[in-house]
Amino acid sequence: MFIFILQMRHMIEGPHHEVYLFAVFSALVWALWILKVVLSRRYRPVTAPYAVGTSVVVPVVDEPLELFRDVLRRIVEQRPDEVIVVINGAPNPDLESVCDEFAPLVQRVHTPIPGKRNAVKIGTEMSRGEITVLVDSDTVWTDGTLAELVKPFADASVGGVTTRQRILEPNRSWITRWADWLENTRALYSMPAQSVLGQIGCLPGRTIAFRRRILVQVMDAFMHEKFLGVFLEVSDDRTLTNLTLKAGYRTVYQYSSLVYTDAPLQVKKLFKQQLRWSRGSQYNTLRMLPWMLGHAPVLAIFFLTDIILPFLLFGTIAGWVYRAATGTGVNLYEAILQSGAGLHGWAWVVALMIVSSVLSMAIRQIRHLQEKPSDFFRLPVFIIVSTLFLMPIRLIGFFRMAHVAGWGTRAGAYTAGQEDSVGDDPMAELASTPGDVPVDLVDRDGPRTPATGTPAPGTGDGRLALRAPVRQRTRVEQPRRTHNPLALVPYAIGIMMFALMAVFYV
Protein backbone atom coordinates (compact mmCIF):
# COMPACT_ATOMS: atom_id res chain seq x y z
CA MET A 1 0.00 0.00 0.00
CA PHE A 2 2.88 2.36 0.85
CA ILE A 3 4.50 1.92 -2.57
CA PHE A 4 1.11 2.13 -4.25
CA ILE A 5 0.34 5.50 -2.63
CA LEU A 6 3.75 6.91 -3.54
CA GLN A 7 3.48 5.74 -7.13
CA MET A 8 -0.08 7.00 -7.57
CA ARG A 9 0.97 10.40 -6.22
CA HIS A 10 3.92 10.53 -8.59
CA MET A 11 1.77 9.40 -11.55
CA ILE A 12 -0.72 12.21 -10.86
CA GLU A 13 1.67 15.00 -9.88
CA GLY A 14 4.77 14.06 -11.87
CA PRO A 15 5.68 16.17 -14.90
CA HIS A 16 5.93 13.16 -17.22
CA HIS A 17 2.92 11.28 -15.86
CA GLU A 18 4.92 8.06 -15.67
CA VAL A 19 2.94 4.79 -15.46
CA TYR A 20 3.95 2.33 -12.73
CA LEU A 21 2.99 -1.30 -13.27
CA PHE A 22 2.78 -1.97 -9.55
CA ALA A 23 0.30 0.88 -9.21
CA VAL A 24 -1.75 -0.69 -12.02
CA PHE A 25 -1.48 -4.09 -10.31
CA SER A 26 -2.60 -2.69 -6.95
CA ALA A 27 -5.41 -0.66 -8.50
CA LEU A 28 -6.77 -3.80 -10.19
CA VAL A 29 -6.55 -5.77 -6.93
CA TRP A 30 -8.45 -3.10 -5.01
CA ALA A 31 -11.03 -2.53 -7.77
CA LEU A 32 -11.72 -6.27 -7.95
CA TRP A 33 -12.06 -6.48 -4.17
CA ILE A 34 -14.47 -3.53 -4.05
CA LEU A 35 -16.56 -5.09 -6.83
CA LYS A 36 -16.75 -8.37 -4.90
CA VAL A 37 -17.67 -6.61 -1.67
CA VAL A 38 -20.44 -4.57 -3.29
CA LEU A 39 -21.95 -7.59 -5.04
CA SER A 40 -21.54 -10.04 -2.16
CA ARG A 41 -23.39 -7.76 0.27
CA ARG A 42 -26.54 -8.51 -1.73
CA TYR A 43 -26.14 -12.28 -1.39
CA ARG A 44 -28.61 -14.35 0.63
CA PRO A 45 -28.83 -18.16 0.66
CA VAL A 46 -32.16 -19.75 -0.20
CA THR A 47 -34.07 -20.69 2.97
CA ALA A 48 -37.33 -22.28 1.79
CA PRO A 49 -37.28 -26.13 1.86
CA TYR A 50 -37.54 -27.93 -1.44
CA ALA A 51 -38.28 -31.64 -1.94
CA VAL A 52 -36.79 -33.22 -5.06
CA GLY A 53 -35.38 -36.59 -6.10
CA THR A 54 -31.59 -36.81 -5.72
CA SER A 55 -28.90 -39.17 -6.97
CA VAL A 56 -25.41 -38.89 -5.49
CA VAL A 57 -22.51 -39.95 -7.73
CA VAL A 58 -19.11 -40.57 -6.11
CA PRO A 59 -16.18 -41.24 -8.48
CA VAL A 60 -13.30 -42.90 -6.62
CA VAL A 61 -9.89 -44.32 -7.51
CA ASP A 62 -8.17 -45.05 -4.22
CA GLU A 63 -9.05 -43.54 -0.88
CA PRO A 64 -8.15 -44.23 2.77
CA LEU A 65 -10.81 -46.74 3.83
CA GLU A 66 -11.86 -45.08 7.09
CA LEU A 67 -12.18 -41.73 5.38
CA PHE A 68 -14.20 -43.24 2.53
CA ARG A 69 -16.44 -45.08 4.99
CA ASP A 70 -17.04 -41.81 6.83
CA VAL A 71 -17.84 -40.05 3.52
CA LEU A 72 -20.43 -42.67 2.56
CA ARG A 73 -21.91 -42.86 6.05
CA ARG A 74 -22.58 -39.13 6.17
CA ILE A 75 -24.12 -39.17 2.68
CA VAL A 76 -26.36 -42.16 3.51
CA GLU A 77 -27.55 -40.49 6.73
CA GLN A 78 -29.06 -37.68 4.65
CA ARG A 79 -31.19 -40.15 2.67
CA PRO A 80 -30.73 -39.33 -1.00
CA ASP A 81 -32.75 -41.55 -3.33
CA GLU A 82 -29.62 -43.39 -4.39
CA VAL A 83 -25.85 -43.31 -4.08
CA ILE A 84 -23.76 -44.53 -7.02
CA VAL A 85 -20.05 -45.17 -6.41
CA VAL A 86 -18.01 -45.43 -9.61
CA ILE A 87 -14.69 -47.16 -8.94
CA ASN A 88 -12.46 -46.36 -11.89
CA GLY A 89 -9.11 -47.79 -12.88
CA ALA A 90 -7.80 -50.95 -11.25
CA PRO A 91 -10.28 -53.12 -9.29
CA ASN A 92 -10.33 -52.28 -5.59
CA PRO A 93 -11.93 -55.01 -3.43
CA ASP A 94 -11.42 -52.92 -0.27
CA LEU A 95 -13.49 -50.02 -1.61
CA GLU A 96 -16.09 -52.47 -2.87
CA SER A 97 -16.46 -53.96 0.61
CA VAL A 98 -16.97 -50.49 2.11
CA CYS A 99 -19.69 -49.79 -0.46
CA ASP A 100 -21.40 -53.08 0.35
CA GLU A 101 -21.70 -52.05 3.99
CA PHE A 102 -24.23 -49.41 2.92
CA ALA A 103 -26.17 -51.47 0.37
CA PRO A 104 -28.80 -51.36 -1.03
CA LEU A 105 -28.88 -47.54 -0.95
CA VAL A 106 -25.27 -47.47 -2.14
CA GLN A 107 -24.68 -49.10 -5.50
CA ARG A 108 -21.22 -49.65 -6.88
CA VAL A 109 -19.93 -50.08 -10.39
CA HIS A 110 -16.42 -50.57 -11.71
CA THR A 111 -14.95 -49.24 -14.93
CA PRO A 112 -11.40 -50.10 -16.04
CA ILE A 113 -11.13 -46.70 -17.74
CA PRO A 114 -9.43 -44.31 -15.28
CA GLY A 115 -10.50 -40.71 -15.04
CA LYS A 116 -13.16 -38.67 -13.29
CA ARG A 117 -14.98 -37.58 -16.44
CA ASN A 118 -15.74 -41.11 -17.55
CA ALA A 119 -16.83 -41.93 -13.99
CA VAL A 120 -19.19 -38.94 -14.01
CA LYS A 121 -20.62 -40.09 -17.33
CA ILE A 122 -21.26 -43.61 -16.05
CA GLY A 123 -22.79 -42.37 -12.79
CA THR A 124 -25.04 -39.91 -14.61
CA GLU A 125 -26.30 -42.61 -16.97
CA MET A 126 -27.12 -44.85 -14.00
CA SER A 127 -28.81 -42.10 -11.98
CA ARG A 128 -32.59 -41.62 -11.83
CA GLY A 129 -33.08 -38.54 -9.62
CA GLU A 130 -34.01 -35.15 -11.02
CA ILE A 131 -30.92 -33.71 -9.32
CA THR A 132 -27.52 -35.39 -9.70
CA VAL A 133 -25.01 -34.53 -6.98
CA LEU A 134 -21.33 -35.13 -7.81
CA VAL A 135 -19.17 -35.70 -4.74
CA ASP A 136 -15.39 -36.14 -4.44
CA SER A 137 -14.45 -39.27 -2.56
CA ASP A 138 -12.57 -37.35 0.16
CA THR A 139 -15.35 -34.82 0.86
CA VAL A 140 -17.15 -35.04 4.19
CA TRP A 141 -20.71 -33.72 4.47
CA THR A 142 -22.06 -31.96 7.54
CA ASP A 143 -25.61 -32.14 8.88
CA GLY A 144 -28.08 -30.78 6.37
CA THR A 145 -25.66 -30.58 3.44
CA LEU A 146 -28.05 -32.22 0.97
CA ALA A 147 -31.27 -30.57 2.17
CA GLU A 148 -29.64 -27.13 1.95
CA LEU A 149 -27.95 -27.86 -1.36
CA VAL A 150 -31.17 -28.57 -3.27
CA LYS A 151 -33.11 -25.52 -2.02
CA PRO A 152 -32.08 -23.21 -4.90
CA PHE A 153 -33.48 -25.71 -7.43
CA ALA A 154 -36.98 -24.50 -6.55
CA ASP A 155 -36.13 -21.80 -9.09
CA ALA A 156 -36.49 -23.47 -12.50
CA SER A 157 -33.80 -21.19 -13.97
CA VAL A 158 -31.13 -22.63 -11.64
CA GLY A 159 -29.11 -25.39 -13.28
CA GLY A 160 -26.19 -25.87 -10.89
CA VAL A 161 -25.52 -25.32 -7.18
CA THR A 162 -22.40 -25.68 -5.07
CA THR A 163 -21.64 -25.71 -1.36
CA ARG A 164 -19.48 -23.77 1.05
CA GLN A 165 -16.23 -25.68 1.45
CA ARG A 166 -13.62 -25.80 4.19
CA ILE A 167 -10.54 -27.90 4.92
CA LEU A 168 -10.57 -30.81 7.38
CA GLU A 169 -8.55 -30.06 10.51
CA PRO A 170 -6.74 -27.00 9.14
CA ASN A 171 -4.40 -26.78 12.11
CA ARG A 172 -2.42 -29.82 10.97
CA SER A 173 0.17 -27.76 9.07
CA TRP A 174 0.81 -24.36 7.52
CA ILE A 175 -0.35 -25.79 4.18
CA THR A 176 -3.76 -26.79 5.51
CA ARG A 177 -4.11 -23.43 7.29
CA TRP A 178 -3.32 -21.61 4.05
CA ALA A 179 -5.67 -23.81 2.00
CA ASP A 180 -8.51 -23.31 4.48
CA TRP A 181 -7.91 -19.56 4.46
CA LEU A 182 -8.16 -19.49 0.66
CA GLU A 183 -11.36 -21.56 0.73
CA ASN A 184 -12.95 -19.26 3.30
CA THR A 185 -11.96 -16.12 1.40
CA ARG A 186 -13.55 -17.55 -1.73
CA ALA A 187 -16.68 -18.42 0.26
CA LEU A 188 -16.95 -14.90 1.70
CA TYR A 189 -16.21 -12.83 -1.40
CA SER A 190 -15.98 -14.46 -4.85
CA MET A 191 -18.71 -17.08 -4.58
CA PRO A 192 -21.49 -14.86 -3.16
CA ALA A 193 -20.56 -12.04 -5.56
CA GLN A 194 -20.88 -14.27 -8.60
CA SER A 195 -23.95 -16.04 -7.19
CA VAL A 196 -25.82 -12.72 -6.98
CA LEU A 197 -25.43 -12.51 -10.75
CA GLY A 198 -26.50 -16.14 -11.16
CA GLN A 199 -23.19 -16.72 -12.94
CA ILE A 200 -20.72 -18.57 -10.76
CA GLY A 201 -17.89 -19.25 -13.18
CA CYS A 202 -16.75 -22.44 -11.48
CA LEU A 203 -18.94 -24.53 -9.20
CA PRO A 204 -16.25 -26.30 -7.12
CA GLY A 205 -16.56 -30.02 -7.62
CA ARG A 206 -16.02 -31.29 -4.07
CA THR A 207 -19.83 -31.33 -3.91
CA ILE A 208 -21.76 -29.94 -6.87
CA ALA A 209 -25.39 -30.48 -7.91
CA PHE A 210 -26.88 -30.25 -11.39
CA ARG A 211 -30.22 -30.95 -12.94
CA ARG A 212 -29.74 -34.39 -14.45
CA ARG A 213 -31.23 -33.38 -17.79
CA ILE A 214 -28.50 -30.75 -18.17
CA LEU A 215 -25.77 -33.32 -17.60
CA VAL A 216 -27.34 -35.61 -20.18
CA GLN A 217 -27.65 -32.72 -22.62
CA VAL A 218 -24.01 -31.59 -22.33
CA MET A 219 -22.35 -34.97 -21.76
CA ASP A 220 -20.99 -35.37 -25.29
CA ALA A 221 -19.30 -31.95 -25.16
CA PHE A 222 -18.08 -32.70 -21.62
CA MET A 223 -16.38 -35.86 -22.84
CA HIS A 224 -14.96 -34.64 -26.14
CA GLU A 225 -14.85 -30.84 -26.48
CA LYS A 226 -11.37 -29.55 -27.28
CA PHE A 227 -9.73 -26.14 -27.15
CA LEU A 228 -6.34 -25.13 -28.58
CA GLY A 229 -6.16 -28.58 -30.12
CA VAL A 230 -6.33 -30.52 -26.85
CA PHE A 231 -8.90 -32.09 -24.58
CA LEU A 232 -8.17 -31.54 -20.90
CA GLU A 233 -9.33 -34.19 -18.46
CA VAL A 234 -8.68 -31.70 -15.66
CA SER A 235 -11.09 -28.98 -14.54
CA ASP A 236 -14.18 -31.12 -14.99
CA ASP A 237 -16.18 -28.95 -12.57
CA ARG A 238 -15.34 -25.75 -14.48
CA THR A 239 -16.26 -27.42 -17.77
CA LEU A 240 -19.64 -28.57 -16.47
CA THR A 241 -20.26 -25.09 -15.09
CA ASN A 242 -19.42 -23.53 -18.46
CA LEU A 243 -21.74 -25.89 -20.31
CA THR A 244 -24.56 -25.23 -17.83
CA LEU A 245 -24.22 -21.46 -18.26
CA LYS A 246 -24.10 -21.74 -22.03
CA ALA A 247 -27.25 -23.87 -21.92
CA GLY A 248 -29.04 -20.85 -20.46
CA TYR A 249 -29.20 -21.82 -16.77
CA ARG A 250 -28.09 -19.95 -13.67
CA THR A 251 -25.33 -21.28 -11.41
CA VAL A 252 -25.52 -20.32 -7.74
CA TYR A 253 -23.94 -20.83 -4.34
CA GLN A 254 -25.67 -22.09 -1.20
CA TYR A 255 -23.68 -20.83 1.81
CA SER A 256 -25.76 -22.85 4.29
CA SER A 257 -24.65 -26.15 2.70
CA LEU A 258 -21.24 -26.95 4.18
CA VAL A 259 -18.74 -29.68 3.35
CA TYR A 260 -15.19 -30.42 4.46
CA THR A 261 -12.44 -31.73 2.22
CA ASP A 262 -8.80 -32.59 2.57
CA ALA A 263 -5.70 -30.76 1.44
CA PRO A 264 -2.17 -31.92 0.62
CA LEU A 265 0.34 -32.06 3.44
CA GLN A 266 3.42 -31.91 1.22
CA VAL A 267 4.64 -28.96 -0.84
CA LYS A 268 5.14 -31.16 -3.92
CA LYS A 269 1.54 -32.37 -3.80
CA LEU A 270 0.30 -28.84 -3.19
CA PHE A 271 2.28 -27.67 -6.21
CA LYS A 272 0.78 -30.42 -8.37
CA GLN A 273 -2.74 -29.62 -7.18
CA GLN A 274 -2.43 -25.87 -7.72
CA LEU A 275 -0.80 -26.30 -11.14
CA ARG A 276 -3.59 -28.63 -12.24
CA TRP A 277 -6.22 -26.14 -11.08
CA SER A 278 -4.36 -23.20 -12.64
CA ARG A 279 -4.00 -24.91 -15.99
CA GLY A 280 -7.64 -25.97 -16.12
CA SER A 281 -8.97 -22.62 -14.90
CA GLN A 282 -7.12 -20.50 -17.45
CA TYR A 283 -7.77 -22.98 -20.27
CA ASN A 284 -11.49 -22.74 -19.57
CA THR A 285 -11.35 -18.96 -19.22
CA LEU A 286 -10.01 -18.57 -22.76
CA ARG A 287 -12.41 -21.21 -24.08
CA MET A 288 -15.37 -19.47 -22.41
CA LEU A 289 -14.23 -15.90 -23.13
CA PRO A 290 -16.36 -15.18 -26.23
CA TRP A 291 -19.51 -16.28 -24.38
CA MET A 292 -18.59 -14.32 -21.23
CA LEU A 293 -17.95 -11.11 -23.15
CA GLY A 294 -21.40 -11.34 -24.69
CA HIS A 295 -23.44 -12.75 -21.79
CA ALA A 296 -21.48 -12.31 -18.54
CA PRO A 297 -19.14 -9.26 -18.73
CA VAL A 298 -18.63 -9.09 -14.95
CA LEU A 299 -17.62 -12.75 -14.93
CA ALA A 300 -15.17 -11.97 -17.74
CA ILE A 301 -13.64 -9.26 -15.55
CA PHE A 302 -13.18 -11.69 -12.66
CA PHE A 303 -11.45 -14.36 -14.73
CA LEU A 304 -9.43 -12.14 -17.06
CA THR A 305 -8.05 -10.28 -14.06
CA ASP A 306 -7.10 -13.66 -12.61
CA ILE A 307 -4.91 -14.23 -15.68
CA ILE A 308 -3.50 -10.70 -15.96
CA LEU A 309 -2.43 -10.14 -12.33
CA PRO A 310 0.42 -12.71 -12.24
CA PHE A 311 1.86 -11.21 -15.44
CA LEU A 312 1.67 -7.71 -13.96
CA LEU A 313 3.36 -8.81 -10.75
CA PHE A 314 6.16 -10.56 -12.62
CA GLY A 315 6.60 -7.53 -14.89
CA THR A 316 6.73 -5.25 -11.87
CA ILE A 317 9.48 -7.28 -10.19
CA ALA A 318 11.46 -7.55 -13.42
CA GLY A 319 11.09 -3.79 -13.89
CA TRP A 320 12.42 -3.09 -10.40
CA VAL A 321 15.45 -5.28 -11.10
CA TYR A 322 16.04 -3.58 -14.46
CA ARG A 323 15.86 -0.06 -13.04
CA ALA A 324 18.08 -0.96 -10.10
CA ALA A 325 20.69 -2.39 -12.49
CA THR A 326 20.54 0.52 -14.96
CA GLY A 327 20.07 3.32 -12.45
CA THR A 328 17.03 4.65 -14.29
CA GLY A 329 13.69 5.79 -12.97
CA VAL A 330 12.75 7.91 -9.98
CA ASN A 331 13.68 6.90 -6.44
CA LEU A 332 10.44 7.43 -4.52
CA TYR A 333 12.18 6.68 -1.21
CA GLU A 334 14.85 9.32 -1.63
CA ALA A 335 13.47 11.67 1.04
CA ILE A 336 13.21 8.86 3.60
CA LEU A 337 16.68 7.53 2.82
CA GLN A 338 18.20 10.99 3.07
CA SER A 339 16.54 11.63 6.42
CA GLY A 340 18.16 8.57 7.96
CA ALA A 341 21.84 7.82 8.07
CA GLY A 342 22.87 4.60 6.37
CA LEU A 343 20.91 1.54 7.43
CA HIS A 344 18.53 3.61 9.54
CA GLY A 345 16.83 5.00 6.42
CA TRP A 346 16.55 1.56 4.82
CA ALA A 347 15.08 0.18 8.04
CA TRP A 348 12.34 2.79 7.84
CA VAL A 349 11.60 1.90 4.22
CA VAL A 350 11.43 -1.84 4.93
CA ALA A 351 9.30 -1.32 8.03
CA LEU A 352 6.83 0.89 6.15
CA MET A 353 6.60 -1.65 3.34
CA ILE A 354 5.88 -4.54 5.72
CA VAL A 355 3.36 -2.64 7.84
CA SER A 356 1.52 -1.21 4.85
CA SER A 357 1.41 -4.62 3.11
CA VAL A 358 -0.03 -6.29 6.21
CA LEU A 359 -2.62 -3.55 6.70
CA SER A 360 -3.56 -3.66 3.01
CA MET A 361 -4.13 -7.42 3.12
CA ALA A 362 -5.92 -7.16 6.48
CA ILE A 363 -8.48 -4.80 4.95
CA ARG A 364 -9.11 -7.16 2.04
CA GLN A 365 -9.34 -10.13 4.43
CA ILE A 366 -11.50 -8.39 7.02
CA ARG A 367 -14.38 -10.88 6.82
CA HIS A 368 -12.09 -13.83 7.39
CA LEU A 369 -10.28 -12.05 10.22
CA GLN A 370 -13.62 -11.32 11.89
CA GLU A 371 -14.20 -15.08 11.99
CA LYS A 372 -10.64 -15.93 12.99
CA PRO A 373 -8.84 -12.91 14.52
CA SER A 374 -5.69 -14.91 15.35
CA ASP A 375 -4.91 -15.15 11.64
CA PHE A 376 -3.98 -11.47 11.69
CA PHE A 377 -0.57 -12.53 13.03
CA ARG A 378 -0.20 -15.01 10.16
CA LEU A 379 -0.83 -12.39 7.48
CA PRO A 380 2.87 -12.01 6.51
CA VAL A 381 3.10 -15.76 5.85
CA PHE A 382 -0.19 -15.72 3.93
CA ILE A 383 1.06 -12.83 1.77
CA ILE A 384 4.40 -14.52 1.04
CA VAL A 385 2.90 -17.90 0.16
CA SER A 386 0.09 -16.43 -1.95
CA THR A 387 2.50 -14.17 -3.82
CA LEU A 388 5.75 -16.10 -4.17
CA PHE A 389 4.19 -19.58 -4.45
CA LEU A 390 0.78 -19.21 -6.07
CA MET A 391 1.50 -16.46 -8.61
CA PRO A 392 4.41 -18.29 -10.34
CA ILE A 393 2.29 -21.45 -10.53
CA ARG A 394 -0.40 -19.52 -12.37
CA LEU A 395 2.16 -18.32 -14.91
CA ILE A 396 3.41 -21.88 -15.47
CA GLY A 397 -0.16 -23.11 -15.77
CA PHE A 398 -0.95 -20.46 -18.38
CA PHE A 399 2.00 -21.31 -20.59
CA ARG A 400 1.40 -25.06 -20.38
CA MET A 401 -2.40 -25.09 -20.68
CA ALA A 402 -2.34 -26.55 -24.21
CA HIS A 403 0.38 -29.12 -23.52
CA VAL A 404 -1.49 -31.66 -21.47
CA ALA A 405 -4.53 -33.71 -22.40
CA GLY A 406 -4.60 -36.07 -19.42
CA TRP A 407 -5.42 -35.66 -15.75
CA GLY A 408 -1.91 -34.52 -14.96
CA THR A 409 -1.47 -36.67 -11.87
CA ARG A 410 -2.95 -40.00 -12.92
CA ALA A 411 -1.41 -41.96 -15.74
CA GLY A 412 -3.86 -43.45 -18.18
CA ALA A 413 -6.81 -41.21 -17.38
CA TYR A 414 -9.55 -40.66 -19.94
CA THR A 415 -8.13 -38.48 -22.71
CA ALA A 416 -10.73 -38.47 -25.48
CA GLY A 417 -8.54 -40.71 -27.60
CA GLN A 418 -5.53 -38.39 -27.75
CA GLU A 419 -2.08 -39.91 -28.10
CA ASP A 420 -0.23 -37.01 -26.53
CA SER A 421 -1.99 -37.24 -23.19
CA VAL A 422 0.91 -38.80 -21.28
CA GLY A 423 4.53 -37.89 -21.15
CA ASP A 424 4.31 -34.19 -21.89
CA ASP A 425 3.45 -33.15 -18.37
CA PRO A 426 6.05 -32.50 -15.65
CA MET A 427 3.39 -33.19 -13.03
CA ALA A 428 2.76 -36.66 -14.46
CA GLU A 429 6.45 -37.35 -14.00
CA LEU A 430 6.29 -36.16 -10.40
CA ALA A 431 3.26 -38.35 -9.80
CA SER A 432 5.12 -41.43 -11.04
CA THR A 433 8.03 -40.92 -8.66
CA PRO A 434 9.14 -44.42 -7.62
CA GLY A 435 8.96 -45.54 -4.04
CA ASP A 436 6.38 -46.43 -1.45
CA VAL A 437 4.37 -43.37 -0.57
CA PRO A 438 0.96 -43.06 1.07
CA VAL A 439 -1.90 -42.37 -1.28
CA ASP A 440 -3.65 -39.07 -0.51
CA LEU A 441 -4.23 -37.64 1.95
CA VAL A 442 -5.50 -37.63 5.48
CA ASP A 443 -3.18 -37.97 8.46
CA ARG A 444 -5.70 -37.96 11.29
CA ASP A 445 -5.98 -39.62 14.68
CA GLY A 446 -9.43 -40.89 13.85
CA PRO A 447 -12.78 -39.83 12.41
CA ARG A 448 -13.55 -36.33 13.60
CA THR A 449 -16.50 -34.04 13.72
CA PRO A 450 -15.55 -31.46 11.07
CA ALA A 451 -17.05 -28.47 12.82
CA THR A 452 -15.23 -29.04 16.10
CA GLY A 453 -12.28 -31.29 15.36
CA THR A 454 -13.32 -33.59 18.22
CA PRO A 455 -13.40 -37.38 17.85
CA ALA A 456 -16.57 -38.61 16.19
CA PRO A 457 -19.03 -40.50 18.39
CA GLY A 458 -18.26 -44.16 18.82
CA THR A 459 -14.59 -43.96 17.86
CA GLY A 460 -13.21 -44.14 21.38
CA ASP A 461 -9.69 -43.01 22.17
CA GLY A 462 -7.93 -45.33 19.76
CA ARG A 463 -5.74 -43.91 17.04
CA LEU A 464 -6.70 -44.83 13.50
CA ALA A 465 -4.17 -44.53 10.71
CA LEU A 466 -6.09 -43.22 7.74
CA ARG A 467 -3.39 -43.80 5.20
CA ALA A 468 -4.18 -46.09 2.34
CA PRO A 469 -2.29 -49.40 2.22
CA VAL A 470 1.17 -48.91 0.80
CA ARG A 471 1.22 -49.85 -2.84
CA GLN A 472 4.16 -50.32 -5.12
CA ARG A 473 4.16 -47.70 -7.84
CA THR A 474 5.50 -48.57 -11.24
CA ARG A 475 6.35 -46.21 -14.03
CA VAL A 476 3.95 -46.47 -16.95
CA GLU A 477 5.57 -46.83 -20.36
CA GLN A 478 4.97 -43.60 -22.19
CA PRO A 479 3.29 -43.81 -25.61
CA ARG A 480 4.67 -41.86 -28.56
CA ARG A 481 3.28 -38.38 -28.40
CA THR A 482 2.43 -35.93 -31.10
CA HIS A 483 3.15 -32.21 -31.02
CA ASN A 484 0.38 -29.65 -30.95
CA PRO A 485 1.30 -26.42 -32.79
CA LEU A 486 -1.52 -24.57 -30.98
CA ALA A 487 0.40 -25.09 -27.73
CA LEU A 488 2.42 -22.06 -28.84
CA VAL A 489 -0.62 -19.77 -28.56
CA PRO A 490 -0.34 -19.18 -24.77
CA TYR A 491 3.39 -18.50 -25.18
CA ALA A 492 2.66 -15.94 -27.89
CA ILE A 493 0.06 -14.23 -25.70
CA GLY A 494 2.43 -14.20 -22.73
CA ILE A 495 5.33 -12.77 -24.76
CA MET A 496 3.08 -10.02 -26.09
CA MET A 497 2.00 -9.12 -22.55
CA PHE A 498 5.60 -8.98 -21.33
CA ALA A 499 6.59 -6.91 -24.37
CA LEU A 500 3.86 -4.36 -23.62
CA MET A 501 5.03 -4.11 -20.02
CA ALA A 502 8.66 -3.68 -21.11
CA VAL A 503 7.64 -0.47 -22.91
CA PHE A 504 7.14 1.19 -19.52
CA TYR A 505 10.72 0.47 -18.45
CA VAL A 506 12.96 0.59 -21.51
**Can you give the CATH number for the domain in which 263 is found?**
3.90.550.10
| Helix, coil or strand: residue 67 | helix
Query: Within a domain: residue 412?
Result: no
Query: Within a domain: residue 178?
Result: yes
User: How many domains in the chain?
Assistant: 1
Query: Within a domain: residue 232?
Result: yes
Q: Which of 82, 88, 146, 89 is CA-nearest to residue 120?
A: 88
| Whether the Cβ atoms of residue 333 and residue 349 lie closer than 8 Å to each other | yes
| Whether the Cβ atoms of residue 232 and residue 405 lie closer than 8 Å to each other | yes
The single-letter DSSP state of residue 329 is S
The reply to whether omega before 479 is within 30° of 0 (cis) is no
Those residues with Cβ within 8 angstroms of residue 316's Cβ, 6 or more apart along the chain or in another chain: 21, 22, 25
pLDDT along the chain (506 residues), means of 10: 62 64 86 96 96 97 93 97 96 95 96 93 96 96 97 98 95 92 95 97 95 97 91 89 97 97 90 91 94 96 95 87 73 56 65 80 93 92 88 93 58 46 39 35 40 40 35 47 83 93 76
| Whether the Cβ atoms of residue 20 and residue 7 lie closer than 8 Å to each other | yes
pLDDT at 188: 95
* Spatial separation of the C-alpha atoms in residues 201 and 237, rounded to whole Å: 10
Q: At residue 412, what is the residue type? A: G
Query: Within a domain: residue 113?
Result: yes
| Helix, coil or strand: residue 256 | strand
pLDDT at 301: 95
* Spatial separation of the C-alpha atoms in residues 243 and 197, rounded to whole Å: 17
| Whether the Cβ atoms of residue 21 and residue 319 lie closer than 8 Å to each other | yes
| Whether the Cβ atoms of residue 146 and residue 259 lie closer than 8 Å to each other | no
Query: Within a domain: residue 239?
Result: yes
Sheet containing 131-135: which strands, arranged edge to edge? 106-111, 82-88, 54-60, 131-135, 207-211, 158-167, 250-261, 140-141
Q: CA distances (Å), 82 to each of 58, 110, 204, 326, 461, in order? A: 11, 17, 22, 67, 33
Q: At residue 171, what is the residue type? A: N
pLDDT at 6: 62
| Whether the Cβ atoms of residue 37 and residue 190 lie closer than 8 Å to each other | no
- Kindly report, residue by residue over 379-433, the tens digit of the pLDDT: 988 988 888 899 999 999 999 988 854 444 444 444 454 544 444 443 343 344 3
* Spatial separation of the C-alpha atoms in residues 209 and 150, rounded to whole Å: 8
Query: Within a domain: residue 445?
Result: no
pLDDT at 356: 78
| Whether the Cβ atoms of residue 56 and residue 75 lie closer than 8 Å to each other | yes
- Residue range of the domain that includes 69: 48-300
* Spatial separation of the C-alpha atoms in residues 29 and 309, rounded to whole Å: 8
Query: Within a domain: residue 261?
Result: yes
pLDDT at 321: 81
Q: At residue 159, what is the residue type? A: G
Helical (H) or strand (E) element with 73: helix 65-77
Query: Within a domain: residue 157?
Result: yes
pLDDT at 101: 96
CA distance from start to end of the chain: 25
pTM of the full structure: 0.81
| Helix, coil or strand: residue 261 | strand
Those residues with Cβ within 8 angstroms of residue 415's Cβ, 6 or more apart along the chain or in another chain: 115, 231, 233, 405, 406, 421, 422
Dump strand ranges (E) for 231-333: 250-261
Burial class of residue 371 in the structure, from the number of CB atoms within 10 Å of its CB (0-12 exposed, 13-18 middle, 19+ buried): exposed
* Spatial separation of the C-alpha atoms in residues 438 and 459, rounded to whole Å: 23
